[in-house]
Amino acid sequence: MDNIRNFSIIAHIDHGKSTLADRLLQITGVVGDHEFRDQMLDTMDIERERGITIKSQSVALPYRASDGKDYVLNLIDTPGHADFSYEVSRALVACEGALLVIDAAQGVQAQTLANFYMALELDLEVIPVINKIDLPSADVDRVKAQIEKDLGLDSDHALAISAKEGTGIEEVLEAVVNRIPHPKGDPNAPLKALIFDSHWDPYRGTIVHLRLFDGKLKPGEVIKFWSNNATYKVEEIGSFLIERKPRKELNAGQVGYMIAGIKTVSDTRIGDTVTLEDRPCKEALKGFKLVKPVVFSSFYPISSDDYEELAVALEKLKLNDASLTFEKDHSTALGHGFRCGFLGLLHLEIVQERLEREFNLSLILTAPSVQYVLVLKDGTETIIDNPAKYPDPVYIQSAKEPFIRASIILPDQFLGPVISLSIDRRGVQKDMHYLDSSRVELTFDLPLSEVLFDFYDRLKSVSRGYASFDYDFLEYRETELAKVDILVSGEKVDALSMLVHKDRAYQRARRACERLKNEIPRQLFKVAVQGAIGGKIIARETVSALRKDVTAKCYGGDITRKKKLLEKQKEGKKRMKQVGNVVIPQSAFLAVLKTDEDE
Ligand SMILES: Nc1nc2c(ncn2[C@@H]2O[C@H](COP(=O)(O)OP(=O)(O)OP(=O)(O)O)[C@@H](O)[C@H]2O)c(=O)[nH]1
């Protein structure tokens, strides 16, 4: 165990976590220079394009240190977005230490702090690494001062590197060896291992990522998951190089994978304890919780023929994404679809993008909603996340909505606009303090539903990109809800209904009507677009009637042109939905959902 180090890299988004990980892979020879791809650890295309780490992977780095000894450094990659903070915390539990990467130009940001606190709570050895020192705007001294003041760490021990240019990387590896403690544990005790991740392999099924704390694990043994008592016979275990490398045994302190005929990743739970069926450990590892989706939206295929395909695609995505949930849903306007649950809006967007790109589906999404708790007049409580399930208001006694506690770090010149933005989003200020002479940390309690939409974009815009943001779920608080319905030509389009705070109802209804008006093509008759609460109309727009048939003359042309036009129309039709006597294009549904600057 003396020659093992288990560590993670944690950082605020874009501070260079993946770039540093790539350098470590390269310098330890895990990937040769010729096969070096940028950001080896981010495997999915979407991750690469968006430059964010969604799914963690780990890798064992072989390293001969300056003391002449050979070490195995297990680098456990963590997802880089607030939607996935539970996954980050479990990955950190698998480690004894963490490299905290801080951008030399940007300094300590909200997620730097959030990640640091998480690592501190888990008793990890934290090594501050100041990255991007090659940038002209790098200010290492300033960042060192922040490390002392904001993190309370000794800045003399901070490393200064450029992951991009490859400077200081050797020092990083030496620090991992010399400063991060080796794992401790009893190889002879009953097996106690942590599931810190799992992914799906089309040939082998679920690959469980494990960190062993006590005991040993061998192929052929029968393991048991603590949370649900499920048992499986182990087929293969091994280490993560870039590929999987089977081994005869995994031991206390080690990190590796396990294949055990587990069908989907949903059968494994991150944070769960794995032990042996015939010789179980006495207690589970601490901190396990079931992650539950917090944002819900219904997905409908534009063409109802694609429903089966959507079902298959969701099943496939689910294989690799335990936090995605879905169940059948039906809309009068849009037909059959699925109500899907996500960890956050980014998670939703990723799933949507994959469905459209990898499975070639055209979708209509309903407005994302959080889960509300309704207390009914008969004293019962019900949880709803779907406007379609909203009961008649006469039965509702009161409602509660989820709140988050947000930490926002910003230069003080932007305090005014950031505070007014937060208050405008029904935020309640809890704290404000200066981190140094010009940087402030603001703490706000905010309704999750307000943060979901465009809070982050607005925050970036009012602070010219300087404010950073992190949040934790707080609690459910009393609220006043209204269900806004949208009517087109007097017919309710159920898929456009939304649950909003009472004070937002007019604004949201008005905006939806304006957007729809602009997106619904003119028809031969006037089309009224209305917003309503219950039976009461609160907003109205009119799409005026078409005066003459502008396309009529095209049909007189030659045959190929006519054919082309017909084909185009067919394609276009696929992207339209008939609602009553009005045709609504997909773009109209999307426009209603989109939030923008000029609210
Ligand atoms: N100049 C300079 N740029 C760097 C350095 N390290 C990383 N970058 C750049 O910073 C950007 C973000 O780097 P990533 O490694 O993707 O950051 P990350 O922290 O992994 O980002 P997430 O995965 O989104 O959390 C990329 O454009 C990198 O090329 C560095 O040492 N110097």
Cβ–ligand 1 distance for 13 under 6 Å, the answer: yes
Regarding beta strands 97-103 and 125-131, do their DSSP bridges make them parallel or antiparallel, or are they unpaired? parallel
In the prediction, which pLDDT does 81 show? Answer: 64
270: Cα within 13 Å, side-chain hemisphere:
25
pLDDT profile of the chain (599 residues), mean per 10? 93 90 88 55 52 59 94 86 78 95 94 89 95 96 94 94 95 97 95 91 87 96 94 94 86 94 85 94 89 90 89 87 89 89 86 88 88 94 91 92 93 94 95 89 94 84 87 91 92 89 91 89 86 91 73 52 58 63 78 58
Calculate the CA 579 to chain-centre distance.
Answer: 33
Those residues whose C-beta lies under 8 Å from the C-beta of residue 185, and which sit 6 or more positions away, are: 1, 212, 213, 214, 252, 253
Q: How far is CA 174 from CA 26, 63, 66, 208, in A?
A: 15, 9, 7, 29
Q: How far is the CA of 437 from the centre of ligand 1 (A)?
A: 27
255: Cα within 13 Å, side-chain hemisphere:
31
Q: How far is the CA of 18 from the centre of ligand 1 (A)?
A: 7
Closest C-alpha residue for ligand 1 atom 30: 132
Closest C-alpha residue for ligand 1 atom 23: 52
End-to-end Cα distance, the chain: 58
Q: Please name the CATH architecture into which domain 295-366 falls.
A: 2-Layer Sandwich (3.30)
Token couple for 576: 């339209």
Closest C-alpha residue for ligand 1 atom 8: 16
Handedness of CA 374, 375, 378, 379 (dihedral sign): positive
Nearest CA to 47 among 346, 467, 316? 346
In the prediction, which pLDDT does 52 show? Answer: 42
Nearest CA to 304 among 20, 574, 524? 574
Q: How far is the CA of 28 from the centre of ligand 1 (A)?
A: 20
Q: How far is CA 183 from CA 7, 31, 41, in A?
A: 10, 26, 24
Looking at ligand 1, which atom is closest to the CA of residue 22?
15
378: amino acid identity, one letter: D
Sheet of strand 295-301: strand arrangement: 325-331, 335-342, 295-301, 363-365
Domain 192-276 -> CATH class: mainly beta
Q: How far apart are CA 474 and CA 465, in angstroms?
A: 26
- Is 18 annotated in a binding site? The answer is yes
Q: How far is the CA of 164 from the centre of ligand 1 (A)?
A: 8
Q: Are 217 and 193 spatial neighbours (Cβ–Cβ below 8 Å)?
A: yes
If you compute the radius of gyration of the chain from its CA atoms, what whole number of angstroms results? 27
Q: How far is the CA of 112 from the centre of ligand 1 (A)?
A: 14
Q: How far apart are CA 60 and CA 239, in angstroms?
A: 7
Q: Please name the CATH architecture into which domain 483-598 falls.
A: 2-Layer Sandwich (3.30)
Q: How far apart are CA 363 and CA 301, in angstroms?
A: 5
Cβ–ligand 1 distance for 78 under 6 Å, the answer: no
- With 0-12 / 13-18 / 19 or more C-beta atoms within 10 angstroms meaning exposed / middle / buried, residue 278 is exposed
Token couple for 197: 């991740």
In the prediction, which pLDDT does 578 show? Answer: 72
Q: Are 89 and 75 spatial neighbours (Cβ–Cβ below 8 Å)?
A: no
Closest C-alpha residue for ligand 1 atom 9: 16
Element housing 402 (H / E): strand 396-411
Fold exhibited by the domain 373-479: Alpha-Beta Plaits (3.30.70)
* Three-state secondary structure of 496-532: HCEEEEHHHHHHHHHHHHHHHHHHCCCCCCCEEEEEE
Matching fold, domains 373-479 and 483-598: yes
Domain 4-179 belongs in CATH node 3.40.50.300: yes
Q: How far apart are CA 599 and CA 424, in angstroms?
A: 11
In the prediction, which pLDDT does 241 show? Answer: 78
Cβ–ligand 1 distance for 21 under 6 Å, the answer: no
Q: State phi, psi for 464 to the nearest 5 degrees.
A: 50, 40
Length reported for the chain: 599
- Is 132 annotated in a binding site? The answer is yes
Q: How far is CA 275 from CA 192, 335, 365, 472, in A?
A: 5, 46, 42, 31
Token couple for 90: 């479990």
Cβ–ligand 1 distance for 134 under 6 Å, the answer: yes
Q: How far apart are CA 458 and CA 46, in angstroms?
A: 24
Cβ–ligand 1 distance for 313 under 6 Å, the answer: no
- Is 16 annotated in a binding site? The answer is yes
Q: Are 262 and 269 spatial neighbours (Cβ–Cβ below 8 Å)?
A: no
Cβ–ligand 1 distance for 111 under 6 Å, the answer: no
Cβ–ligand 1 distance for 168 under 6 Å, the answer: no
pTM of the model: 0.78
Q: How far is the CA of 412 from the centre of ligand 1 (A)?
A: 26
Q: Where do the domains of the chain lie? A: 4-179, 192-276, 295-366, 373-479, 483-598
- ipTM tops 0.90: yes
